[in-house]
């Protein structure tokens, strides 16, 4: 990285850390963590996804703790709509885990729409990025009958092939 970008990195000059597990027997690629320590000119996941799609097209991508709005949008843009296996939400008064039948009230596309609405009503995504600082991921939100809840994380799964 050029010196100005290297200086803005938050962890000993490191721009990002990625933790992947690839199991060819199970045909799955697990993206455990993706940490960004600075703003990058491209979304790190875009480059990673292109490599995974070209080398492991017969596998599924599983993200056990998806938290960031930008990463969720990239998954949706490049692969389509992933299946939500579970979701952990935080409301004003409590936190809850949705699994199985309880997931009917949540959809991946609905979460993206609710998140976009959330930020639009508060001045936009760019404003929030500036407030958080370099490399921080934006939270996602779900509008429920009882009000808006923050998506603390969700587990999603989707095929890496478009077939």
What pTM value is reported for the model?
0.80
> Ranked by mean pLDDT, which of 42-51, 91-100, 134-143 comes out on top?
91-100
The residue that leads in pLDDT, 135 or 93, is 93
Per residue in 19-54, pLDDT (tens digit) is 889 999 999 999 887 666 556 555 667 788 888 999
Chain mean pLDDT for the chain: 84
Residue 84's alpha-carbon distances to 20, 25, 66, 87, 109, in angstroms, are 19, 23, 10, 7, 11
Pull the structure tokens for residue 37: 């320590």
Per residue in 64-73, pLDDT (tens digit) is 999 888 889 9
Any idea what the Cα angle at residue 49 is, between residues 47 and 52, rounded to 5°? 115
What distance in Å separates the CA atoms of residue 96 and residue 38, rounded to the nearest whole number?
31
């Amino acid at each position: 990285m050029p010196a100005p970008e290297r200086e803005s990195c938050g962890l000993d000059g490191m721009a990002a850390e990625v933790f992947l597990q690839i199991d060819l027997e199970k045909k799955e690629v697990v993206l455990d963590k993706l940490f960004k320590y600075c703003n990058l000119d491209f979304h790190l996941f875009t480059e990673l996804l292109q490599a995974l799609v070209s080398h492991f097209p017969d596998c599924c991508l599983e993200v056990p703790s998806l938290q960031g709005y930008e990463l969720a949008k990239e998954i949706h843009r490049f692969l389509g709509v992933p299946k939500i296996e579970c979701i952990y939400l935080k409301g004003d008064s409590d936190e809850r885990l949705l699994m199985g039948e309880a997931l009917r009230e949540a959809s991946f596309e609905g979460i993206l729409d609710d998140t976009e609405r959330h930020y639009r009503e508060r001045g936009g995504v760019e404003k929030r990025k500036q407030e958080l600082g370099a490399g921080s991921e934006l939270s996602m939100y779900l509008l429920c009958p009882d009000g808006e809840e923050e998506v603390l994380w969700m587990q999603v799964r989707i095929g890496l092939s478009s077939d």
